[in-house]
A and B are shown apart, each in its own frame.
Chain A
């Protein structure tokens, strides 16, 4: 029996085992991990753009805020229009800031991987630069004039005016930062493997949606007067659906945008957290396991499945939501067509259905049916059948050639 049990494969005498290992350094460059991170980034950008185009652009976007500020202070803000996207229309206002946000988040992630000492230096350098930009000109001109005139005095009006530019600059940057917070934190979280940053990104987006929802609530919206009118709202009564599957129109384009926001939030969350989860698992493995090809192979399997499921399940979730939202019309047709009774008539015409109530009820009904289907359709067997048709029958366990360890 003893001879069946080999040593761990890391126990080699010459020690040069060339296979892949689960060390973070290598694992971070593995294509599945990179792919998941790219998916997460794309989802993040997509989600941001979708939210922005639905709720922000043209109603409360940053260029409008900048315009208002410029009108208030009666001068141009120092930050260049090409950077803020001022002057552009629609989503064009967000293209340059988005790139800026991505690169800022990326560099923050990069910073997170430096040694604590380097990190500290860079942070220090940043703060010093900020201070110099803020008060540098004031100090130089004030100090210089005091030196030349041999006079100890407070800075005069002209010298104080040099503070204006940096203050406005920093304010503009702060505004941009707040607008781009989800993108910056999200990118930092994805590539810097920080759970907290991802939570910030998602939390901020949801918070924005929540606050927007409350402000758009008619009762409160009415109190806001002209400000309230500026808020972009989504109508509760719908037009004809225009987007669907296989020629069957299911949802309106507004609904589709909202579904996309929800799905992209989930794709972003699941892929970014997934990456962190797997890397954490690999990190915690003992050294001998990191080198064990079995662990490497299974990690590959797990990552591949995650990739597949990200597309499969989240795609299905999106489709299920779309079908669920479009289900009430199908339901109506069925009810109306099959029975023709008083009830069918009144249900098909009921005001509840044309309002959101019916939509949600029938959507939940559809989802319940889907959930129940699980008990009637043996998915596991179906899966097995598909696999066996594809020739993946369980053969006798493939016995990987055992590597003899010379001691």
Chain B
């Protein structure tokens, strides 16, 4: 009883230890992914000054369905109508879970330290190739791999430009979406340097913005649809100048010699000629003729936005496109909805954000991507228009939220990524086998009548009893018994007397002369012995 209890304790202890270790291991893995200390920002679903709720509200008002993607861009493969879908990545603040997967050469790889895994990048590329539109707003985060897939690189160093907003600070920089840089005149943009959007303005002869078709048409505000941002006093007044306010930006560059997934890559916005990049990140600018340890930082003109398209027209009907911008925060409430921010809608503030074209630019981008192609629906979003905000790489502030996202991530990963699918398949197979082999139902009860009994004698003695010596001994015992002699008397008896006592020549010979007997002879002798003495 005592030992039984001991075994129970031991078993319980062992199990407890097992689960403890397992939880510990799982926590270690998950803690890489679940990062609760980060403040959450750049989410389309939160309404702090640094989130993007105003943008999402505008989309909804325009009749566009908004969706979030909380697990993994692998899901983009399941989107049924990529043509009318826009995928927006704004600030990738954390890395992916590093799980094994196939790389493009078909080898298994585990390393994926750049936000998105190769299969996720593939899914994004495929989505864009299938006609989808994507917008990547990023600065120092983890979206670099997406850009690289299209032949563009985020430098990841902070960029300073002369076109900053003096009332605020040098982190707030103006970006004019045009081929040439714009300059400053005192505290404001020099309007003489302001030009128009290269493509949307129609200057290139193609890729004109769809709202420009409505230019000059008079209509009610409700009918303006996706061109509401150009509506003024009863008519659409399309204007292709964009002064976009950015904050804390980096620079973009083309990767020399690399051909991205889409053939037509063009620069959409640049810095002034006097921009500098703080390569060593010390907050000070040291530039020289060449980059060395003394003067590590860079100086000159940098790119702020790229657009990659399937066709030079960039017409969404002809194929997908993707736009990169060198700032993750271009669409945050504080800048996108500067009026609301200044009024204190997103909390008390002592800053005044200047008037900007962020909203106009963003809505024009959406308008081009999602406007219906039906002749009678010009200006209106298409019926299936959808904007997907990638929320999968924004840390959540609740453990529950993060676990929820993680579960989705794992599920999508294991049912969407080649290697993981293979692995899952294998696991399922093994589980099935295990159930097949290990799980046994209790046997049906049946009364079995059985009497187990081992009553065999010593079979080894049989040969011994067939030997003539033994037979002789048994015979002599019989003779002795028959005549009532004891051992001593019998042994003392002379052979002659014994012969006469036996009174059978064959047996007497057998008793006295030990010679070899054949089997037949032995049998005959035994028969005789049996019969002997009966009369």
Residues of A within 8 A of B (CB): 236-237, 341-343, 345-347, 349-352, 354-355, 357-358, 361
Q: In the complex, what distance in Å separates the CA atom of A368 from the CA atom of B79?
A: 29
Closest to B396 in A: A343
User: A351 and B67: CB pair below 8 A?
Assistant: yes
B155 contacts chain A at the CB level, 8 A cutoff = no
Q: Which residues of B contact A236 (CB under 8 A)?
A: 78
Q: What chain B residues lie within 8 Å of A345 (beta carbons)?
A: 45-46, 68
> Would you call B43 and A346 a contact (CB within 8 A)?
yes
Contact A357 B75 (CB under 8 A): yes
Q: Do B411 and A361 have beta carbons less than 8 Å apart?
A: yes
Q: Which residues of B contact A237 (CB under 8 A)?
A: 80
Cross-chain contact of B78 among A341, A346, A349, A355 (Cβ < 8 A): A355
CA distance in complex: A345, B401 (Å):
11
| Other contacts beyond A351-B67, A355-B75, A357-B411: 15, CB < 8 A | A236-B78, A237-B80, A341-B401, A342-B43, A343-B45, A345-B45, A347-B401, A349-B66, A350-B408, A351-B69, A352-B408, A352-B412, A357-B415, A361-B407, A361-B408
Contact A351 B411 (CB under 8 A): no
Instruction: Indicate which residue in A342, A355, A357 contacts B45 across the interface (CB closer than 8 Å).
Output: A342
- The reply on B352 being an interface residue by CB < 8 A is no
User: Nearest residue in A to B415 (C-beta to C-beta)?
Assistant: A357
Residue interface mask B61-91, A partner, CB < 8 A = 1: 0000011111100010011100000000000
B391 lies within 8 A of chain A by Cβ: yes
Interchain residue pairs A-B with the least CB separation, the first 3: A342-B46, A345-B45, A343-B401
Tell me which of A343, A352, A358 contacts B398 (CB under 8 A).
Answer: A343
Cβ of B499 within 8 Å of any chain A Cβ, yes or no, is no
CB distance from B117 to the nearest CB of A (A): 17
B391: chain A residues within 8 A (beta carbon): 346, 350
Hey, which chain A residues are within 8 Å of B432, CB to CB?
none
Q: How far is the CA of A355 from the CA of B72 in the complex (A)?
A: 13
Contact between B45 and A352, CB atoms less than 8 A apart: no
Binding site for A on B (CB under 8 A): 40, 43-46, 51, 66-71, 75, 78-80, 388-389, 391, 396-398, 400-401, 404, 407-408, 411-412, 415
Distance to closest chain A CB from B79 (angstroms): 8
5 contacts between A and B (CB under 8 A): A342-B397, A345-B46, A346-B44, A351-B69, A354-B67
Q: How distant is A312 from chain B, measured CB to nearest CB, in Å?
A: 24
A to B contact number (C-beta, < 8 Å) = 67
Instruction: Collect the chain A residues with CB atoms within 8 Å of residue B68's CB.
Output: 345-347, 349-351
**B116 smallest CB distance to A (angstroms):** 16
A75 to B45, CA, bound (A): 66
Q: In the complex, what residue of chain A is closest to B400 when comparing beta carbons?
A: A343
Contact of B404 among A342, A347, A349, A351 (CB under 8 A): A347
What is the interface of chain A mostly: helix, strand, loop, or mixed? helix
A352-B40 CB under 8 A given contacts A342-B46, A357-B412, A361-B408: no
- Nearest chain A residue, comparing its CB with the CB of B87: A351
A153 to B386, alpha carbons, bound, how many Å? Answer: 78
Give the complex CA separation of A171 and B71 in angstroms. Answer: 52
A341 to B67, CA, bound (A): 16
Residues of B within 8 A of A346 (CB): 43-45, 68, 70, 389, 391
Tell which of B45, B79, B408, B412 touches A349, judged by Cβ atoms closer than 8 Å.
B45
Q: Which chain B residues lie closer than 8 Å to A341 at the CB level?
A: 398, 401
Chain B: minimal CB distance from A352 (Å)? 5
Cα distance A351–B411 in the bound complex, in angstroms: 14
Q: A350 vs B43: C-alpha distance in the bound complex, in angstroms? A: 13
B75 contacts A352, C-beta separation under 8 Å: yes
Task: Determine the distance from Cα of A164 to Cα of B102 in the docked complex, in whole angstroms.
Answer: 56
Complex alpha-carbon distance, A156 and B229, angstroms? 87
Beta-carbon nearest neighbor of B81 in chain A? A237
Closest to A343 in B: B401
Rounded to whole angstroms, the CA-CA distance of A109 and B69 in the bound complex is 56
Contact of B67 among A343, A350, A361 (CB under 8 A): A350
If A236-B78, A357-B75 touch, whether A351 touches B45 (CB-CB below 8 Å) is no
Chain B: minimal CB distance from A181 (Å):
26
CA distance A236 to B81 in the complex (A): 13
Chain B, Cβ-Cβ closest to A354: B67
Chain A proximity of B349: nearest CB distance (Å): 20
Given contacts A342-B40, A342-B46, A343-B396, contact A349 B67 (CB under 8 A): yes
* CA distance in complex: A237, B412 (Å): 16
| B80–A352 touching, CB < 8 Å | no
* Closest chain A CB from B324 CB (angstroms): 22
**A357 touching B67 by the CB < 8 A rule?**
no
B373 CB to closest chain A CB, in angstroms?
21
* Complex interface: chain A residues within 8 A of B412 (CB): 352, 357
Q: Please report the C-alpha to C-alpha distance between residue A258 and residue B35 in the assembled complex, in whole angstroms.
A: 41
CB distance from A167 to the nearest CB of B (A): 43
**A350: B residues at CB distance < 8 A:** 67-71, 391, 408
Q: Which residues of A have CB within 8 Å of B80?
A: 237
- Nearest residue, chain A, Cβ from B389: A346
Determine the distance from Cα of A354 to Cα of B66 in the docked complex, in whole angstroms.
Answer: 12
Nearest residue, chain B, Cβ from A281: B444
Once the chains are docked, how many angstroms separate the CA of A343 from the CA of B68? 10
Query: In whole Å, how far is A199's beta carbon from the nearest beta carbon of chain B?
Result: 16
Q: How far is the CA of A354 from the CA of B396 in the complex (A)?
A: 21
On whether the beta carbons of B404 and A357 are closer than 8 Å, the reply is no
Q: How far apart sit A236 and B80, CA to CA, in the bound complex (Å)? A: 9
Q: List, in ascending order, chain A residues with CB within 8 A of B43's CB.
A: 342, 346
Q: Which residues of B contact A351 (CB under 8 A)?
A: 67-69, 75, 79, 388
Q: How far, in angstroms, from A298 to B412 measured CA to CA in the complex?
A: 51
B260 to chain A, nearest CB (A): 25
- Chain B min CB distance to A299 (Å): 17
- With a 10 A CB-CB cut-off, give which of A237, A343, A354, A357 has the most chain B CB atoms: A343
User: How far in angstroms is the closest Cβ of chain B from A249?
Assistant: 20
Distance in Å: Cβ of A26 to nearest Cβ of chain B = 24
B127 to chain A, nearest CB (A): 12
Expressed in whole angstroms, the Cα–Cα distance for A352 and B73 within the complex equals: 10
B-side contacts of A357, CB under 8 Å = 71, 75, 408, 411-412, 415
